[in-house]
Each structure stands twice: as structure tokens, then as C-alpha cells.
Structure 1
């Protein structure tokens, strides 16, 4: 791994932290906030690729674990990883990796629609699969009930996916950081 790779990994960990500064939107029905921070792993994967994107999220999670208040609302520390929403935080690693792998695989034919679809796969399908199972196990709620209660978050996710698609394709066209894998 080159110095350039390490710098990009650290940069996207910092970007994910910075996205936590935006004020969260808390829906009155549920206590879990909708934050811009979950866009960080998608941007990391879509711009850096699978390996570097996932490593940037791992770095971010390690910084949170050692107590840095980098999560939305200024939260940090090991206690975060014992709560019902920790699965979504751990899922960010897989989200960045899957998104990055799809971007790498289809790099040469990438457009805004494909970028949005790939961000949807990584940011909703993969992330929710991990996060909702964790919530179900931690709370004892049936998975179907957790899925229904997660539905309001899809509105915010659609906005984040659109932003990731536009940003990632713009970066691809101006300053590409991913090396295409053969399709």
C-alpha cells in the first residue's frame, strides 16, 4: 500500500467524521436519527474502490472505538458497539466494500444511473441486511417489525444515493482514483 493510498484512506475517514457534523433529523415515531454520515462509506467505496473504501471505514470505526466523538451527535467509545444500531456502523465496512467492488467491476461503463444502483446495493441492500439483523437480535423484535420500522429511513437514503451517484461520477470523470477491473 502506497503513501497515497494511506492518505486517501485517512481523508475518507475524516470525510465520514465530518458528515456527522450535519444536524441529524430525528423522526418523531422513532428515536434513531437520520444523518448524512452514512453517506461517507458510500462515497469512500465509490471513489476509492473496495479495499481502500472499506479500510477508510475501518479506520473511522477504530477512532470511534477509542473514544473519539465522531459519530453524529458527538458520540464515541466502546459503548456504541453494544447498542441496537451498532450493526449499521459495522455494516458500513461491507457497504463501502460492496459499493467499491461494483464500481471497480463496471468502471468503464459507469454512468449516474449505474452509480446510483450500485450505491443502492451497498447502502441499502447490504447495509440494511446487516443492520436490521443486528437490531432484531439485540432487541428481540421480529425481523419483519424491524424492517417496517426501518422504512422511513429509505427517504433519506434515496437522497444520499442520488448525491453519491452525482459526486462519484463527477470524480470519475475529473480525477479517477479507481483502476478498472476487467468486466
Structure 2
């Protein structure tokens, strides 16, 4: 009688692993907030490193876990923990000029994660698609943040032109995020976004 093989193990993460990943990613985005924001222009929105966290999370761990991590972080901020850049916390950041960009983090993580997952399933070139995913995550954050800023400032032109100052730095963050994700995916392919795991 031939020897029976053990059942194949699933590559889907266990709930405990998902929770742990979510907490770690949320903590990582919070750590990015240790870098202080720089206020430039009259928009009242600082240039920060932390806004790279959501789309980096998306290209690293996939849409679901990245979104959960961002929601967890924002919930902790809302109850008063000073986890945003510059030690900000509470409700004020959500209702101020940068509030739209904060809410946009959720979509940023979602879109970046979904594109990265689709790329993994089609086995598209890793780095180019990670660049596309990270850039798409950044763009949807702008798509939420700029209209919100326009309402806050009372001027679409002020909101749009004021946001242009962020573009060079944010594009650099997109490239860095894609490079980091490419390296990590090669090192830990089974623990991140995969063609069959999500």
C-alpha cells in the first residue's frame, strides 16, 4: 500500500498571524510618525514621511491586512494617542486641513494592496508593478486629500497648487517603497502578498 502524503498546508495566514501582522504594520506606520513634519506654504498640511506607510503596507502585506493596520492606527490616533507626525493625536487632525489625507490612507492601503496582489497572481514583473501599486496608492490619497483641503481653504486653486509642493518627495517615497517591497518579497515570498495566498 503506497504511503499516504500529509495534506498540503495552506498558505493562507492564520487569524493569529493576521492579527500580529496588522499590529506590527500599524506600529511601523506609527514609527514613521517619529519623523517631524515640515510645514511649507499656506495649506496647513505638513510634509511627512508617515504618508508612505499606507501604500508601503499595501505592497508588502496585501490590501486586507494593510487596511486593517491603517484603521487601527487611525482609531488609536482618534482616541488621543500622539501617533501622527509631530506627536499629533485626537480628533483635531481629522477635521483640520490634513484630515482628507488621513482618511485617504485607508484607500491608499487598499488600492496599493489590490494592485500588488493582482500583479502577484499574474506573475507580472515585480518591481514595475510594485511601483504602479505604490503610485496608485499615493494618487488615491491625493484624490481624497485635495478636495478636503479645498473645502478647508475655500479655494480649489490653493488646495491644488499648495499640494504640488508634496509631489517630488512623495514620488521619491513611491520609489523607495517599491524597492523595499521588492527586496522583502524576494526574501519572504510566502509571508507577504502572493499569487495564491490572497
Question: Could you tell me how far apart the structure 2 residues matched to 1:25 and 1:114 are?
Answer: 30
Q: Is the 8 A contact 2:116 2:130 kept in 1?
A: yes
Q: Is the 8 A contact 1:95 1:122 kept in 2?
A: yes
Is residue 88 of structure 1 aligned with residue 101 of structure 2? yes
Instruction: Provide closer, same or farther for how the CA distance between residues 50 and 110 of structure 1 changes in structure 2, counting only shifts above 3 A.
Output: farther
CA deviations over 1:85-120 (Å, ceiling 9, x no partner): 100000000000000000000112242222112211
TM-score by structure 2 length? 0.85
CA deviations over 1:11-37 (Å, ceiling 9, x no partner): 010001000101323335654321110
Q: Is the 8 A contact 1:47 1:100 kept in 2?
A: yes
CA offset at residue 40 of structure 1? 0.8
The residue number in structure 1 matching 2:88 is 75
Q: Is the 8 A contact 2:43 2:159 kept in 1?
A: no
Instruction: Provide closer, same or farther for how the CA distance between residues 104 and 15 of structure 1 changes in structure 2, counting only shifts above 3 A.
Output: same
CA deviations over 1:52-103 (Å, ceiling 9, x no partner): 1111000000000010000000000012211121000000000000000000
Between 17-26 and 164-173, the greater mean CA deviation after superposition: 17-26
Q: Which of 141, 146, 159 is matched with 1:127 structurally? A: 141
Question: Could you tell me how far apart the structure 2 residues matched to 1:66 and 1:97 are?
Answer: 23
The residue number in structure 1 matching 2:11 is none
Q: In structure 2, list runs of 5 or more residues that go unmatched.
A: 1-13
How many residues end up aligned between the 2 structures? Answer: 180
Question: Could you tell me how far apart the structure 2 residues matched to 1:28 and 1:101 are?
Answer: 34
Q: CA RMSD in A?
A: 1.7
Question: Could you tell me how far apart the structure 2 residues matched to 1:135 and 1:27 are?
Answer: 14
Deviating 4+ runs (over 2 angstroms): 23-32
Structure of greater Rg: 2
